A and B are shown apart, each in its own frame.
Chain A
Amino acid sequence: AQSVTQLDSQVPVFEEAPVELRCNYSSSVSVYLFWYVQYPNQGLQLLLKYLSGSTLVKGINGFEAEFNKSQTSFHLRKPSVHISDTAEYFCAVSASGTYKYIFGTGTRLKVLA
């Protein structure tokens, strides 16, 4: 079975500062990893995904994440955040060859002016 841990429930950061949202997972099999963003009163939108290949994955809106197999982590980073990045961010894991996701509990990013 897989599990996902997002240790930070809320992350406040000032505009134009860098940010890292942490995600750790556990699994006994190979996994696919995803980051989704949810803006207020909306559904979830894919930011980026890791299926295989390069461990550094670039996504939309300037976000990137690095898959670290030895540390079982998939942290999300952005070098300079904007007010419009204020949203909730979810990490998800899916075992290879399946279509079910396990979601983390989410991290609420609040960008301050």
Chain B
Amino acid sequence: DVKVTQSSRYLVKRTGEKVFLECVQDMDHENMFWYRQDPGLGLRLIYFSYDVKMKEKGDIPEGYSVSREKKERFSLILESASTNQTSMYLCASSSLSGGSYNEQFFGPGTRLTVL
């Protein structure tokens, strides 16, 4: 069974802290994505990666960075957390080959609260 896991379901941090959100997929997918989900706004792409050490900015990259040192792992970093980064963060992965062509598989999400 394909799987995308995220390191935490719930996280509470203080303003100014450095925050790491980890995502791991076991499907050998080339592409990995970080989204944030806010009520009424749907999912917005923060960053994506199409290969190890390769990354591209999405629609809302400000205040975030990412790291992909291994194919299966994609980390989202909040350099200095702020209250407006309180949100649900979703990780996804996909492949451009095979029967699940271009289908994105999602993790369960991390609900981050910044106080």
Contact = CB atoms under 8 A, between A and B. Distances in A.
A105 B31 CA distance: 23
Contacts of A101: 43, 45, 104
A105 B37 CA distance: 9
B76 interface: no
Size class of the B contact interface (CB-based, 8 Å): 20 to 34
Given A103-B43, A105-B42, A42 B96 contact: no
Contact of A42 (B35, B92, B108): B108
A99 B106 contact: no
B90 A99 contact: no
Chain B interface mostly: strand
B84 to A, nearest CB: 19
A104 B42 contact: yes
Given A9-B40, A99-B94, A105-B40, A43 B102 contact: no
Interface string B91-115: 0101010000111111111000000
Given A42-B109, A43-B108, A44-B90, A99 B42 contact: no
Given A90-B43, A100-B45, A43 B109 contact: yes
A43 B106 contact: yes
Nearest to B109: A43
Interface stretch (A45-53, A68-76, A78-86): A45-53
Contacts of A51: 101-102
A32 interface: yes
A103 B102 contact: no
A99 B4 contact: no
Interface in A58-110: 90, 94, 99-101, 103-106
4 nearest interchain CB pairs? A43-B106, A105-B42, A103-B43, A44-B106
